[in-house]
Amino acid sequence: VPYVMPVSFTVSIPLDDLLIFSAFSEYPNSLFGDLKIKFKINPNAFVFCQVDPVISLAKFYTICIDELLSSGQDKLKDIDLFFRNWSLTFQYTNMFTQIGCTADLITGIRAEELAPSGLKNLVCDVKPVTVSVRNYIITAVTANMSGYKASDTCLNRVRQFYSTRPFVVPAQRIESWAFPSAAALTGLRTSQNIPLSHVTDMCLIFPKDPRCITCFENPCYQNMQVSTLGRNFPDFPMNTLNEQFFTMQLQANNLDNIFDATDEYEDSLATPRGSATRRYNPNTDITSFFITLQCERNSNGALTFDGLDTQNQNISVELRGMPVYQGAVDTYYNVDTNGKHPPPPVLCTVHDTFWLFTPNNGGSCDYDTTHSFDEVIGQVTA
C-alpha cells in the first residue's frame, strides 16, 4: 500500500542562476518597462536521498536523551548495538535518486535476540522504494533584484543613448537531442543529424533511466570523442576517470579559478563505479556528472566567440567511446544486476543568444537567437 505524506519545503532559485538570465547584472527597468517571468515547476525534476542512518540515530539520541535515560536500559542497549555493529556492507542507495525512480532504501532496523542470554544481532531491511509526487501547491513566490538610485537627468541621458542602439544582455539557450541508439556491451557509436546555430558548448549526459532529469552518473568510459564538421571534440580521446579529463571539466565550467567545484561534482567526476573485478557500492553522492566540450576557437590564448554554425542545415554529430571495465562490471551498460540497460545518451547544445532592450515606444524587448556575438555587438558599437 503506498504511503502518502505531505511535505513542505522552500526552493530558492536566484534569478542569475537561471541560464537565460545569468548576465542580468543590472536591469534599468525604468527605461525598458517591467520584466515579467513565467515559469513552471516540474515535480519530476526533484530528487530524494536517504539520510545516513548513523547520523539520523545520533541526532535522535541527542534530542531524546532524557526520555531514553528514563525509559530503562533496553533502548540504550539497542542503540549501542547499532553503533557497534553498523556495517558498510548494507547495500542501500547512498546517493540522490530522481523522483519517480526506484532506490534501495533501508525500511527497517531492529535488534533480534539470538539467545536467552540476551545476545542480539543487528538486522537491516533494505527494499526497493519508489518516491513520487502526487500533487503540489506553490504557496508563495518571491524575488529579490538589486537596484540603484539615479537622477532624472541621468536616466534621460541613458534613455537618449539607447534610443539609437539596443541595450544588450548576453544569454544562452540549451537544446537537447537524444541520440538514436543506446550503449551496447562493447560501448557506444551513435550519430544524429541536427542543425547547429552558434553553438559555443556541447554537453553530454548519460541517463540510466528514461525518467532521469537531474541525476546523472559517470559512465566510466574511455576513448570517448564527439565528431562533427570534420573536427573532434576534444582534440584527444577522453577517459572519464583520469586526471586530464578532471582538469578539462573544471576549466570548461570555469571552476578552476575564482569559483570552486562542489564536493558532489568533484566526486561525480573522479569516483569510479567499479573495478576490473567488481562493482562498487557508492558511499557518497555521485549524480552530478556531465561532460562539457567547449567549441569556441582558442586564438592566442583568448576564446573567439564564433561557435559552430551550419546555417540551419543538418549536420552529422557522432559520439563514440568504450567502457573502461567491460562485462558485468560495466556499471553504465549494466544499470543493475537484474538486466536493466540505459536509454540513449543525450547531447545538449549551448547557443549564444541575446536580450535586446530599447526604450522606444514605451519600452520593448527582443530575444535574439539567430545572430552571432560579433553581429549583435556590431549594433552597439556602430
Across 326-349, b (16+ Cβ under 10 Å) vs e yields eeebbbbbbbeeeeeebbbbbbbb
Same domain for 332 and 232, yes or no, is yes
How many domains does the chain contain in total?
2
pLDDT over 70 (residue 299): no
Whether residue 90 is predicted with pLDDT greater than 70 in this model: the reply is yes
Considering only CA atoms, which of 129, 101, 3, 105 is closest in space to residue 45? Answer: 101
pLDDT number for residue 220: 95
Burial class (CB within 10 angstroms; exposed 0-12, middle 13-18, buried 19+) of 275: exposed
> Do residue 107 and residue 230 come from a single domain?
no
CB neighbours of 309 closer than 8 A, spacing ≥ 6? 196, 197, 198, 199, 372
Joined together, the cell numbers standing for residue 322 give 568504450
Q: Is the pLDDT of residue 99 over 80?
A: yes
Q: Which of 130, 154, 184 is the last residue of a domain?
A: 130
* Any domain includes 37: no
H/E stretch holding 243 reads helix 243-252
Q: What is the mean pLDDT of residues 108-113?
A: 81
Cell numbers representing residue 103 in the block: 532506490
Q: Mean pLDDT score of the chain, rounded to an integer?
A: 84
What digits encode the pLDDT tens for the residues 260-277? 888 999 999 999 988 999
In a domain, 138, yes or no: no
* pLDDT for 348: 95
Residue 228: per-residue pLDDT: 94
Report strand pairing: 291-294 vs 199-205.
antiparallel
Residue 144 has pLDDT above 70, yes or no: no
Domain end (from 130, 152, 178) = 130
The predicted structure's pLDDT at residue 96: 93
**pLDDT score recorded for residue 29:** 62
Q: Residue 302 — pLDDT band, cuts 50, 70, 90?
A: low
pLDDT for residue 381: 67
| Residue 376 and residue 354 in contact, taking contact as beta carbons nearer than 8 Å | yes
For residue 170, count CB atoms less than 10 angstroms from its CB and return exposed for 0-12, middle for 13-18, buried for 19 or more.
Answer: middle
Is residue 275 in a domain? yes
Average pLDDT over residues 54-83: 82
Omega prior to 234 cis, within 30 of 0: yes
Q: Are residues 120 and 236 in the same domain?
A: no
Q: Of 113, 130, 147, which residue constitutes the final position of a domain?
A: 130
Nearest to 3 by CA among 129, 127, 173, 108: 129
Report the range out of 56-60, 75-79, 283-287, 374-378 with the highest average pLDDT: 283-287
Name the packing angle between helices 74-85 and 53-63 (round to 10°).
150
**Residue 373 covered by a domain:** no
Residues 197 and 345 in one domain: yes
Q: Are residues 126 and 173 in the same domain?
A: no
Q: Which residue has the higher pLDDT, 124 or 286?
A: 286
Same domain for 224 and 279? Answer: yes
Q: What is the pLDDT of residue 120?
A: 77
Q: Say if residue 85 is in the same domain as residue 222.
A: no
Position with higher pLDDT, 87 vs 82 = 82
In a domain, 142, yes or no: no
Residues 199 and 347 in one domain: yes
**E strand or H helix that includes residue 60:** helix 53-63
Which residues, in sequence order, are CB contacts of 45 under 8 Å at separation 6+? 99, 213, 214
305 and 235, same structural domain?
A: yes
If asked whether residues 234 and 332 sit together in one domain, one would say yes
Whether 114 and 201 map to the same domain: the answer is no
Q: Identify the residue with better confidence: 213 or 151.
A: 213
Q: Classify each residue of 45-72 as buried b or exposed e, where b means 16 or more C-beta atoms within 10 Å of its C-beta.
A: ebbbbbeeeeeebeeeeeeeeeebeeee
List CB contacts of 12: < 8 A, sequence separation 6 or more: none
Q: Is residue 92 part of a domain?
A: yes
**372 domain-assigned:** no
What is the domain range of residue 98? 47-130
**Region 114-142 average pLDDT:** 82
The grid coordinates listed for 376 are: 549583435
pLDDT at 186 over 90: yes
Range among 54-63, 158-167, 329-338 rated most confident: 329-338
State the pLDDT at residue 80.
Answer: 81
The CATH code of the domain that includes 241 is 2.70.9
What is the rounded average pLDDT of the residues 109-117?
Answer: 78
Tell me what percent of the residues of the chain surpass a pLDDT of 90: 33
Decide if pLDDT at 177 tops 60: yes
pLDDT tens, residue by residue, 193-240: 999 988 989 999 999 999 999 999 999 999 999 999 999 999 999 999
Task: Count, in order, helices (H) and strands (E) of the chain.
Answer: 8, 15
- Count, residues in the chain: 382
pLDDT of residue 380 exceeding 80, the answer is: no
> Do both 201 and 316 map to the same domain?
yes
Q: What is the pLDDT of residue 155?
A: 79
pLDDT at 70: 81
Helix (H, G, I), strand (E, B) or coil at 186: coil
Q: Please indicate, yes or no, if residue 3 is contained in any of the structural domains.
A: no
Query: In which band, very low, low, confident or very high, does the pLDDT at 343 lie, cut at 50, 70 and 90?
Result: very high
Any idea which of 150-154, 174-178, 223-227 has the lowest mean pLDDT?
A: 150-154
